[in-house]
Amino acid sequence: MSELLLIDDDQELCELLGSWLGQEGFVVRACHDGVSARHALAEAAPAAVVLDVMLPDGSGLELLKQLRNDHPDLPVIMLSARGEPLDRILGLELGADDYLAKPCDPRELTARLRAVLRRSHPAAVSSQMELGDLCFSPVRGVVNINEQAFTLTVSESRLLEALLKQPGEPLDKQELAQIALGRKLTLYDRSLDMHVSNLRKKIGPHADGRPRIVALRSRGYYYSL
Protein backbone atom coordinates (compact mmCIF):
# COMPACT_ATOMS: atom_id res chain seq x y z
CA MET A 1 0.00 0.00 0.00
CA SER A 2 1.29 3.46 -0.92
CA GLU A 3 1.57 6.02 1.88
CA LEU A 4 0.53 9.56 0.99
CA LEU A 5 1.13 12.80 2.85
CA LEU A 6 -1.80 15.19 2.47
CA ILE A 7 -0.89 18.78 3.42
CA ASP A 8 -3.91 21.08 3.60
CA ASP A 9 -5.36 23.34 6.31
CA ASP A 10 -8.93 22.33 5.40
CA GLN A 11 -9.43 19.54 7.93
CA GLU A 12 -12.86 18.61 6.59
CA LEU A 13 -11.43 18.19 3.10
CA CYS A 14 -8.55 16.12 4.50
CA GLU A 15 -11.02 13.80 6.22
CA LEU A 16 -13.05 13.46 3.01
CA LEU A 17 -10.03 12.79 0.80
CA GLY A 18 -8.41 10.58 3.43
CA SER A 19 -11.54 8.43 3.66
CA TRP A 20 -11.85 8.16 -0.12
CA LEU A 21 -8.18 7.42 -0.71
CA GLY A 22 -8.19 4.90 2.14
CA GLN A 23 -10.97 2.99 0.37
CA GLU A 24 -8.84 3.10 -2.77
CA GLY A 25 -5.97 1.33 -1.00
CA PHE A 26 -3.80 4.25 0.11
CA VAL A 27 -2.50 4.96 3.61
CA VAL A 28 -2.98 8.68 4.27
CA ARG A 29 -1.23 10.94 6.77
CA ALA A 30 -2.62 14.47 7.01
CA CYS A 31 -0.88 17.67 8.11
CA HIS A 32 -2.60 21.03 8.35
CA ASP A 33 0.35 23.43 8.31
CA GLY A 34 3.91 23.69 7.06
CA VAL A 35 5.59 23.02 10.42
CA SER A 36 3.86 19.69 11.01
CA ALA A 37 4.40 18.76 7.36
CA ARG A 38 8.15 19.33 7.66
CA HIS A 39 8.25 17.16 10.79
CA ALA A 40 6.30 14.40 9.03
CA LEU A 41 8.63 14.49 6.03
CA ALA A 42 11.68 14.35 8.29
CA GLU A 43 10.30 11.25 10.03
CA ALA A 44 9.58 9.25 6.88
CA ALA A 45 9.31 10.11 3.19
CA PRO A 46 5.91 9.09 1.74
CA ALA A 47 5.32 7.60 -1.70
CA ALA A 48 3.73 10.89 -2.82
CA VAL A 49 2.61 14.26 -1.50
CA VAL A 50 -0.62 16.19 -2.11
CA LEU A 51 0.12 19.82 -1.23
CA ASP A 52 -2.17 22.85 -1.00
CA VAL A 53 -0.83 26.18 -2.28
CA MET A 54 -2.23 28.11 0.72
CA LEU A 55 -1.11 27.09 4.23
CA PRO A 56 -1.81 28.98 7.48
CA ASP A 57 1.89 29.41 8.33
CA GLY A 58 3.31 30.10 4.88
CA SER A 59 3.11 29.33 1.20
CA GLY A 60 2.78 25.79 -0.08
CA LEU A 61 5.02 26.89 -2.95
CA GLU A 62 7.83 27.61 -0.48
CA LEU A 63 7.34 24.16 1.02
CA LEU A 64 7.43 22.69 -2.50
CA LYS A 65 10.75 24.44 -3.12
CA GLN A 66 12.18 22.83 0.04
CA LEU A 67 10.69 19.47 -0.95
CA ARG A 68 12.46 19.59 -4.29
CA ASN A 69 15.77 20.32 -2.57
CA ASP A 70 15.41 17.54 0.02
CA HIS A 71 13.44 14.97 -2.01
CA PRO A 72 14.00 15.79 -5.71
CA ASP A 73 12.27 12.67 -7.06
CA LEU A 74 9.30 12.60 -4.66
CA PRO A 75 6.01 12.85 -6.62
CA VAL A 76 4.05 16.01 -5.69
CA ILE A 77 0.55 17.03 -6.77
CA MET A 78 -0.44 20.62 -5.98
CA LEU A 79 -3.94 21.78 -5.00
CA SER A 80 -5.26 25.34 -5.06
CA ALA A 81 -8.63 26.75 -4.07
CA ARG A 82 -8.06 29.69 -6.37
CA GLY A 83 -7.05 27.63 -9.37
CA GLU A 84 -5.36 30.67 -10.89
CA PRO A 85 -3.06 30.10 -13.89
CA LEU A 86 -0.19 31.89 -12.10
CA ASP A 87 -0.39 29.45 -9.17
CA ARG A 88 -0.35 26.53 -11.58
CA ILE A 89 2.60 27.90 -13.54
CA LEU A 90 4.60 28.66 -10.38
CA GLY A 91 3.88 25.21 -8.97
CA LEU A 92 5.00 23.50 -12.15
CA GLU A 93 8.06 25.74 -12.43
CA LEU A 94 9.08 24.74 -8.92
CA GLY A 95 8.81 21.07 -9.82
CA ALA A 96 5.27 19.88 -9.02
CA ASP A 97 4.43 16.79 -11.06
CA ASP A 98 0.79 17.74 -11.52
CA TYR A 99 -1.80 20.28 -10.44
CA LEU A 100 -5.51 20.24 -9.55
CA ALA A 101 -7.87 23.11 -8.72
CA LYS A 102 -10.08 22.79 -5.63
CA PRO A 103 -12.69 21.60 -5.12
CA CYS A 104 -11.30 18.55 -6.87
CA ASP A 105 -13.10 15.33 -7.67
CA PRO A 106 -11.62 12.60 -5.41
CA ARG A 107 -11.76 10.21 -8.37
CA GLU A 108 -9.65 12.61 -10.45
CA LEU A 109 -7.11 12.99 -7.64
CA THR A 110 -6.94 9.20 -7.28
CA ALA A 111 -6.33 8.80 -11.00
CA ARG A 112 -3.58 11.47 -10.98
CA LEU A 113 -1.92 9.84 -7.95
CA ARG A 114 -1.93 6.40 -9.52
CA ALA A 115 -0.49 7.81 -12.73
CA VAL A 116 2.37 9.60 -10.98
CA LEU A 117 3.12 6.57 -8.81
CA ARG A 118 3.23 4.29 -11.85
CA ARG A 119 5.71 6.67 -13.45
CA SER A 120 7.85 6.76 -10.31
CA HIS A 121 7.95 2.95 -10.12
CA PRO A 122 8.23 1.71 -13.72
CA ALA A 123 7.45 -1.96 -14.24
CA ALA A 124 10.41 -2.54 -16.50
CA VAL A 125 13.91 -1.45 -15.55
CA SER A 126 15.38 0.67 -18.34
CA SER A 127 19.10 0.45 -19.02
CA GLN A 128 21.45 3.41 -18.91
CA MET A 129 20.92 5.72 -21.88
CA GLU A 130 23.83 7.57 -23.50
CA LEU A 131 23.77 10.11 -26.29
CA GLY A 132 26.78 12.30 -26.95
CA ASP A 133 27.94 13.86 -23.68
CA LEU A 134 24.68 12.99 -21.92
CA CYS A 135 24.31 9.88 -19.77
CA PHE A 136 20.90 9.19 -18.21
CA SER A 137 19.74 6.61 -15.68
CA PRO A 138 15.91 6.37 -15.92
CA VAL A 139 15.74 4.20 -12.80
CA ARG A 140 17.59 6.75 -10.64
CA GLY A 141 16.25 9.77 -12.49
CA VAL A 142 19.75 11.22 -12.73
CA VAL A 143 21.42 12.86 -15.75
CA ASN A 144 25.19 13.19 -16.02
CA ILE A 145 26.67 15.73 -18.44
CA ASN A 146 30.43 16.28 -18.41
CA GLU A 147 30.65 14.81 -14.89
CA GLN A 148 27.89 17.07 -13.58
CA ALA A 149 24.86 15.26 -12.12
CA PHE A 150 21.29 16.58 -12.24
CA THR A 151 18.38 14.92 -10.42
CA LEU A 152 15.07 14.99 -12.28
CA THR A 153 11.51 14.88 -11.04
CA VAL A 154 9.34 11.90 -12.01
CA SER A 155 7.73 13.80 -14.88
CA GLU A 156 11.02 15.21 -16.17
CA SER A 157 12.60 11.75 -16.06
CA ARG A 158 9.80 10.15 -18.07
CA LEU A 159 9.87 13.02 -20.55
CA LEU A 160 13.63 12.79 -21.16
CA GLU A 161 13.48 9.00 -21.48
CA ALA A 162 10.80 9.27 -24.19
CA LEU A 163 12.79 11.89 -26.13
CA LEU A 164 16.06 9.93 -25.91
CA LYS A 165 14.41 6.78 -27.22
CA GLN A 166 13.67 8.59 -30.50
CA PRO A 167 16.40 11.24 -30.89
CA GLY A 168 15.81 13.57 -33.81
CA GLU A 169 12.22 12.36 -34.21
CA PRO A 170 9.40 14.72 -33.14
CA LEU A 171 6.99 13.44 -30.53
CA ASP A 172 3.46 14.83 -30.43
CA LYS A 173 2.52 16.84 -27.33
CA GLN A 174 -0.40 14.58 -26.48
CA GLU A 175 1.81 11.51 -26.78
CA LEU A 176 4.44 13.09 -24.54
CA ALA A 177 1.80 14.18 -22.02
CA GLN A 178 0.50 10.63 -21.79
CA ILE A 179 4.04 9.40 -21.13
CA ALA A 180 5.21 12.19 -18.80
CA LEU A 181 1.96 13.05 -17.00
CA GLY A 182 -0.09 9.91 -17.42
CA ARG A 183 -2.96 11.86 -18.98
CA LYS A 184 -4.03 13.91 -21.98
CA LEU A 185 -3.62 17.66 -22.10
CA THR A 186 -6.74 19.76 -21.75
CA LEU A 187 -7.44 23.04 -23.55
CA TYR A 188 -4.94 25.76 -22.52
CA ASP A 189 -3.04 23.21 -20.40
CA ARG A 190 0.64 24.21 -20.33
CA SER A 191 1.76 21.50 -17.91
CA LEU A 192 3.89 19.67 -20.47
CA ASP A 193 5.51 22.90 -21.69
CA MET A 194 6.46 23.79 -18.11
CA HIS A 195 8.06 20.38 -17.53
CA VAL A 196 10.01 20.76 -20.78
CA SER A 197 11.15 24.24 -19.68
CA ASN A 198 12.33 22.87 -16.32
CA LEU A 199 14.15 20.00 -18.01
CA ARG A 200 15.88 22.38 -20.43
CA LYS A 201 17.12 24.51 -17.53
CA LYS A 202 18.63 21.46 -15.85
CA ILE A 203 20.39 19.82 -18.79
CA GLY A 204 21.26 23.02 -20.69
CA PRO A 205 22.21 23.22 -24.40
CA HIS A 206 24.74 21.19 -26.36
CA ALA A 207 28.38 22.26 -26.07
CA ASP A 208 28.02 24.23 -29.33
CA GLY A 209 25.04 26.16 -27.97
CA ARG A 210 22.28 24.28 -29.81
CA PRO A 211 19.25 23.41 -27.67
CA ARG A 212 19.07 19.75 -26.69
CA ILE A 213 15.26 19.80 -26.73
CA VAL A 214 13.73 21.48 -29.76
CA ALA A 215 10.12 22.66 -29.97
CA LEU A 216 8.10 22.34 -33.17
CA ARG A 217 5.28 24.87 -33.14
CA SER A 218 1.86 23.27 -32.63
CA ARG A 219 3.43 19.80 -32.98
CA GLY A 220 5.67 18.70 -30.17
CA TYR A 221 9.32 18.25 -29.19
CA TYR A 222 12.40 16.24 -30.12
CA TYR A 223 15.91 15.70 -28.73
CA SER A 224 18.45 17.13 -31.17
CA LEU A 225 21.45 15.11 -32.28
Q: 188-209: b or e for each residue (b if 16 or more CB lie within 10 Å)?
A: ebebbbbbbebbbeebeeeeee
Asked whether the beta carbons of 31 and 140 are under 8 A apart, the reply is no
- In the prediction, which pLDDT does 52 show? 92
What digits encode the pLDDT tens for the residues 176-195?
988 888 888 888 788 888 89
Among 120, 154, 188, identify where a domain stops. 120
CATH number for 57: 3.40.50.2300
Does 114 lie in the same domain as 12?
yes
Among 120, 142, 165, identify where a domain stops. 120
Nearest to 60 by CA among 39, 34, 85, 83: 34
CA–CA distance from 6 to each of 143, 155, 191 (Å)? 30, 20, 22
Q: Which residues of the chain have pLDDT under 70?
A: 1, 82-85, 121-126
- In the prediction, which pLDDT does 204 show? 94
Tell me the backbone φ, ψ of residue 148, rounded to 5 degrees.
Answer: -105, 130
Does 195 lie in the same domain as 160?
yes
- Into how many domains does the chain fold? 2
Does 114 lie in the same domain as 34?
yes
- In the prediction, which pLDDT does 84 show? 65
- In the prediction, which pLDDT does 82 show? 61
Q: Facing residues of 129 across strands?
A: 136
Does 163 lie in the same domain as 85?
no
What digits encode the pLDDT tens for the residues 126-147?
578 899 899 998 888 889 998 8
Give the structural domain span for 56: 3-120
Could you tell me the pTM of the whole model? 0.73
Does 16 lie in the same domain as 110?
yes
Cβ neighbours of 148 (radius 10 Å): 9
Does 146 lie in the same domain as 204?
yes
CATH number for 178: 1.10.10.10
Does 164 lie in the same domain as 92?
no
Does 145 lie in the same domain as 103?
no
Does 106 lie in the same domain as 143?
no
